[in-house]
Amino acid sequence: LHASVSVDPAFRVGPVRRRTFGSFVEHLGRCVYTGIHDPEAPSADEDGFRRDVIDLTRELGISTVRYPGGNFVSGYRWEDGIGPVADRPRRLDLAWHSTEPNIVGVDEFMKWSAKSGTEPMMAVNLGTRGIQEALDLLEYCNVPGGTHWSDLRRANGAEDPYRIRMWCLGNEMDGPWQVGARTADEYGRLAARTASAMRMVDPGIELVACGSSASMMPTFGEWERTVLGHTHEQVDYISAHAYYFEEDGDLGSFLASSVDMDHFIESVVAAADLVRAQKKEKKRIHLSFDEWNVWYQKRADSKPPTGDDWPVAPVLLEDRYNVADAVVVGSLLISLLRRTDRVHAASLAQLVNVIAPIMTEPGGRAWRQTTFHPFAQASNLAHGDVLRLAIDAPEYETARFGGVPVIDAVATRDPESGEVVIFAVNRSTTDEVALDVDLRAVPGLRVLGATSLSNPDHTWSATADDDASVAPVANTTASVADGRASALLPPVSWNVIRLG
Ligand code: AHR
């Protein structure tokens, strides 16, 4: 197969935003306990945080980290997690039918955040709680001192305010599974009032209203319109959540998952712009795609325990990712980057153990899943401007989306160095694609490096013993001649071509 793309700096979509490369740490399964925090691990530091996970978080190039949930936040009492650990209560976590020991709370998370060089994105509970508790948490975090909650933070060891900028107004409030789920009108009114009050404490914060928890929710679209009808003046972002998995062996449709993400983004932008037009407002609402990933939701360990079994940090949602999953993660990153004009933040859900690029053994090793690599490459190599590419590629037929181009790609260009990076997936399950890149608008480039992530067996998964076999390897077919680059892209592959 042959495909061609044209690179032209005139087709600038917007800047590469660091916040596109965010992630998510929820009190769920082994994400916090034995994930980021594990005093028994050989790499544990003086606060019980795993240094190996911190190092891998840095290697991934994570920018923001959303915390503490997720479904968990909708039943969470944040003040359970402050003060002397021995005095903290153990609570039922209804979202995941677990016991929350409250060993890690906001102060510990903020320590971890500083150690890992990430920006916190804090969620407030609008499920079982409301405006007052959100204000208390904000006061605890962002007010310098001289008040009840801010002085308590200082007494708990954090003299300086955390000054957290990004705040999520609840989580997935459209989902019937959510503790305290609401209608769009109920949630919109509560979110607007909570947002106004929070801005009275700290006008500098950025606020995210809950959008739909999936594009197939029955209220999708109408939910966004109604919620923004209430909150447009008060918030900066509307959230989007999407998870994909291969169903019934339909690899072709799975590899085309980003078609759904593109549609999701377009639809939410349309709903936000409709409200903007109706309200005759100048301000635009942007998207925080703050949960996205591959998640095999039908696997047994995606189901929480039941009955009298309320374990601490059980094995939950520990998906093992293969090569095809990594290619899908890469293609979803292409979609997010391509809409950098409206997607201003995103979070790969989640960071450790729970549907995660990083895995740990309790008290043992940490290792990289296949999905680690496309994320790390995109985060570390995308700089400057995002360029939309003119793509001409043959289509293949999918059951879910009809005809889909075998190639999807996006480019970034650093205006200072002139370096152009092309990120491309080949979704063909059978054919190598000869990619031809028209570089006439960016003359004088040569190949600085090219890599491909693929495997003759696309079901290959990494393990703690071997997490390197499907790391991206040099693609030696990449070359430039006469203003055109070319490279052979293997079937089911994620590819990066650096030109400078
Ligand atoms: O990321 C796992 C779960 O998926 C989150 O808790 C929830 O927000 C979503 O449904």
Over its C-alpha atoms, the chain yields an Rg (Å, rounded) of: 22
Q: Is 172 a catalytic residue?
A: yes
Instruction: Supply the pLDDT for residue 152.
Output: 98
Instruction: Supply the pLDDT for residue 469.
Output: 84
DSSP-derived secondary structure letter, 127: S
Nearest CA to ligand 1 atom 2: 70
Instruction: Supply the pLDDT for residue 470.
Output: 83
Count CA atoms closer than 13 A to 285's CA, side-chain side: 37
Q: How is 283-347 classified by DSSP, letter by letter?
A: ---EEEEEEEEE--TTSGGGSPP-TT---SS---S-PPPBHHHHHHHHHHHHHHHHTTTTEEEEE
Place of tokens 């190949």: 447
Domains and CATH numbers, the chain: 17-381 (3.20.20.80), 387-499 (2.60.40.1180)
Instruction: Supply the pLDDT for residue 218.
Output: 96
The burial class, CB within 10 Å (0-12 / 13-18 / 19+), for 468 is exposed
Nearest CA to ligand 1 atom 5: 70
Q: Is 416 a catalytic residue?
A: no
Instruction: Supply the pLDDT for residue 101.
Output: 98
Instruction: Supply the pLDDT for residue 391.
Output: 95
Whether 23 is in the pocket of ligand 1, judged by its Cβ within 6 Å, is no
Nearest CA to ligand 1 atom 9: 70
Whether 79 is in the pocket of ligand 1, judged by its Cβ within 6 Å, is no
Collect the ranges in the chain with pLDDT lower than 50.
Answer: none
Whether 461 is in the pocket of ligand 1, judged by its Cβ within 6 Å, is no
Q: 3-class SS at 366?
A: strand
How far apart CA 481 and CA 470 sit, in angstroms, is 29
Instruction: Supply the pLDDT for residue 364.
Output: 96
34: Cβ contacts below 8 Å, ≥ 6 apart: 41, 313, 353, 360, 362, 363
